[in-house]
Structure 1
Amino acid sequence: MPTRRYDDTPGFGSLYARTVKATLRKAEYEPDEDGLTLELPQAAVDQDHLAAYREVTGFSPGPALPVTYPHVLAFPLHLDLMSDPSFPYRPMGIVHLSNTITQLRPIPMHAELDIRVHSGPERAHPKGTVFDIESEVRVFNEVVWTDTTTLLSRSSGTSSAHADLLSDPSLEPSAWWDLRGNLGRRYAAASGDRNPIHLFKLSAQAFGFPRQIAHGMWAKAAALASIQRAEGLPDAFTVRVDFRKPLLLPSRVQFGHRSTDGVVDFAIYDETHDLTHLIGQLQPR
């Protein structure tokens, strides 16, 4: 398996330029399980960046990293992987279907992190082809955190293919969130994810949305921050979310969660409870 190592995080300017270029090219590559691995060893956490991330997502200060924060640190490697000439899909237009994070133990906020990213094998989907980007974080050579980002490359699809989905728990609201129109820009500043669909109405309309939409990983982080404030989070757990309908900005949404024998089901709905934006489940390990 070829490996590319970095001494520092790749810059977003060059990464986005490569992403646009990769979208315009025609891939000539057959994916397999021995694809490119990207490594960023000895990554230090910028404490000002961490504070900005906590502020926009709602996580309280504490000695450990928010469970979703390592995803932000791995995201530049995601972009680098998807813009590499060997990558088989065009990055712009890829749809984020779901995300699964496993925290094996809390990560100290001052820890030095070894981040590794690679892509998984493809599989059929009713609307195209699904693939995963797998990330892991090691501290002192021990795996402490993993992330599976499941993405869809649209095509004619396979009508007989199975779409792996969480069931809707149909929860009553425990909170109402009023989301401002600049939320996407605020999260982009904290995460580096400056996809145009999240930033402004005009840039989102260029991609077929009526106005800008919230980042899916912001929604996951905000949901977990809300659960943490209400009842705390275990030290070791797996949490998966499925992204359903885009969450337009500005908007008012309902958030609900329910804990049963340690398993927490949660969801984000629109103001009338007619549309489901996100469904998630947390399971202690």
Structure 2
Amino acid sequence: MSEVKFRELRNAPPMVVNFAKAVLRANVKPGNNPTLPEVGLRLNDVGLDAKHLAAYRKVCGFAADGKLPVTYPHMHAFPLHMALILENDFPFPAMGLVHVRNSITQYRPIAEREQLNIKCYLGNLTKVDKGYEFSIFTSISTGGERVWESESVNFFRSGGGSKGKKKEAPKPEPATDTVEWKVPGDIGRRYGAVSGDRNPIHLYPLSAKLFGFKRQIAHGMWSKARCLAELQSQLPAEAFSVDVQFKLPMFVPATVKFENKPTDGGSDFRLLAKDGIKPHLAGQIRTLGE
């Protein structure tokens, strides 16, 4: 991929407009040799909306501490993500994408009053079994200092794939020391109201069934945020990364189990179904070396 050409934005793209465009592009086909547009978006001087931050903390479970929750910058980047995948030459329909992995690196805590400069672009398009994966990269700076980065890996299913014998996945170990949560059926609507991500699969049983789900499912980024809210007091003060792999969808309402195991330089955590075995999410927190 050649050098990305960035466009400057004056304001974040309205999510209502983004979803309208997503509906209009629902029948986009990738063709035999899809490529990603070599374009990026920049939005500078993004300031704090105290009410929005408070609403985000409430729906995800973070305590107010004068710093932005580690997942909160994603709220400002997501409208730019949507705008990128709605570019005229983007090869996949937005409605057909599945968020499969997310990695965040926070280089230092971000104070509530800092203004953010946000940069997003596409990359790493790869043919995988049964479809394609690609990344949306985000870099956030303040006062010329890089403070936060992320990579969101998305999957588009296009059929085909290997015809060989399917490899058996290793059986997950049952959880041993967990915290149990009750996840309400309206969590998708509540998180969607804050994030702007009102994908129908997260809202109501009927709207989710239109896309092949038996009922609505929780947002992956809500699940990641809820796990990190549980670990808020244990997160490193120095630079660290937190990677998650989204596993089985969480149909809500649900009872789930959260497990955390400290490791050298961080911790490994999982979000599991009520049986303590079926995984919804697996994550790793690691401090960054010098």
Unmatched segments (≥5 aa) in structure 2: none
Any residues of structure 2 matched to 1:220-231 within 5 Å, and which? Answer: 220-229=224-233, 231=234
Q: 1:136 aligns with which of 133, 139, 150?
A: 139
Matched with 2:222 is: 218
Shift, 1:169, TM fit: 6.9
Moved over 6 A (4+): none
When residues 36 and 253 of structure 1 are mapped into structure 2, their CA distance, relative to the original with a 3 A threshold, is same
Q: Given the alignment of the two structures, is residue 151 of structure 1 paired with residue 154 of structure 2, yes or no? A: yes
Q: Given the alignment of the two structures, is residue 56 of structure 1 paired with residue 54 of structure 2, yes or no? A: no
Letter in 1 for 2:254: S
> Deviations for 1:69-118, whole angstroms, at most 9, x for unmatched residues?
00111000011001110212111111111100000111111111000110
Cα distance in 2 for residues equivalent to 1:277 and 1:27:
29
Query: In 1, are the aligned partners of 2:86 and 2:94 still within 8 Å (CA)?
Result: yes
Of 256-265 and 52-61, deviating more is 256-265
Q: 2:39 aligns with which of 33, 36, 40?
A: 36
Unmatched segments (≥5 aa) in structure 1: none
Q: 2:264 aligns with which of 242, 245, 261?
A: 261
Query: In 1, are the aligned partners of 2:172 and 2:278 still within 8 Å (CA)?
Result: no
Letter in 2 for 1:189: A
Of 121-130 and 47-56, deviating more is 121-130
Matched with 2:278 is: 275
Query: In 2, are the aligned partners of 1:27 and 1:86 still within 8 Å (CA)?
Result: no
When residues 283 and 226 of structure 1 are mapped into structure 2, their CA distance, relative to the original with a 3 A threshold, is same
Query: In 1, are the aligned partners of 2:68 and 2:110 still within 8 Å (CA)?
Result: yes
When residues 150 and 48 of structure 1 are mapped into structure 2, their CA distance, relative to the original with a 3 A threshold, is same
Any residues of structure 2 matched to 1:103-122 within 5 Å, and which? Answer: 103-122=106-125
Shift, 1:174, TM fit: 2.4
Shift, 1:125, TM fit: 1.4
Matched with 1:185 is: 189
When residues 167 and 131 of structure 1 are mapped into structure 2, their CA distance, relative to the original with a 3 A threshold, is farther
When residues 170 and 106 of structure 1 are mapped into structure 2, their CA distance, relative to the original with a 3 A threshold, is farther
Query: In 1, are the aligned partners of 2:57 and 2:64 still within 8 Å (CA)?
Result: yes
Cα distance in 1 for residues equivalent to 2:18 and 2:25:
10
> Deviations for 1:145-173, whole angstroms, at most 9, x for unmatched residues?
00100000111354399x9x999675424
Matched with 1:100 is: 103
Query: In 2, are the aligned partners of 1:10 and 1:77 still within 8 Å (CA)?
Result: yes
When residues 254 and 66 of structure 1 are mapped into structure 2, their CA distance, relative to the original with a 3 A threshold, is same
Cα distance in 2 for residues equivalent to 1:26 and 1:232:
42
Matched with 1:197 is: 201
Query: In 1, are the aligned partners of 2:40 and 2:119 still within 8 Å (CA)?
Result: yes
Q: Given the alignment of the two structures, is residue 6 of structure 1 paired with residue 6 of structure 2, yes or no? A: no
Q: TM-score, normalised by structure 1?
A: 0.92
Identity among equivalent positions (%) equals 39
SS at match of 2:95: coil
Shift, 1:121, TM fit: 2.4
Letter in 2 for 1:236: A
Shift, 1:235, TM fit: 3.1
When residues 5 and 157 of structure 1 are mapped into structure 2, their CA distance, relative to the original with a 3 A threshold, is farther
Q: TM-score, normalised by structure 2?
A: 0.91
Cα distance in 1 for residues equivalent to 2:16 and 2:224:
26
Query: In 2, are the aligned partners of 1:58 and 1:222 still within 8 Å (CA)?
Result: yes
Matched with 2:243 is: 240
SS at match of 2:84: helix
SS at match of 1:120: strand
